[in-house]
Amino acid sequence: VWEDRDRLFTLNDIRDRVVQAGFTPDDLFLMYEELDQNKDGLLSLDEFRRLFKLLEIKIGDTMCARIFAKLDADGEGTIDFEEMLVGMFPAHKFILMLNRAAGRSLRAVHSGFDQHHQEAQ
């Protein structure tokens, strides 16, 4: 229970830093692309670790691996942009489902997040 609590606190810390920095959904997508060093569209655990350095969050390797495993919804050992976004910002899952039902691409979904973010302000 305590380990899960620490993982949730760390995810909240990520969310808080992203919001405090004023990152838009466009910025999150660009950050994801920057973390993806081999440009395969997926984040490995090593690539994901860079997120914490980028956001200046001190985290141990074990906790980083636990968060990565939690975000890796399909269990393939990598995280795509959708998994990262939904894992960090669960409220966006609804927008993803609507756009997927409409047959929109991930890039179009990403644009929809930006529009939603602007309307919410």
Strand, helix or coil for residue 1: coil
Which range marks the domain in which residue 44 is found? 2-90
Q: Flag whether 41 is in a domain.
A: yes
* Gap between the Cα atoms of 79 and 37, Å rounded: 13
> From CA 82, how far away is CA 57, in angstroms rounded?
22
Whether 99 maps to a domain, the answer reads no
Bridge partners of 79, per DSSP, are 43
pLDDT in tens, 42-70: 999 999 999 888 888 888 898 889 889 98
20: CATH: 1.10.238.10
Per-residue pLDDT, 72: 92
pLDDT averaged per 10 residues, the chain (length 121): 69 78 77 94 96 84 88 93 81 58 56 51 50
Considering the domain boundaries, does residue 113 fall inside one?
Answer: no
**Total structural domains in the chain?**
1
Task: For residue 80, tell me if it sits in a domain.
Answer: yes
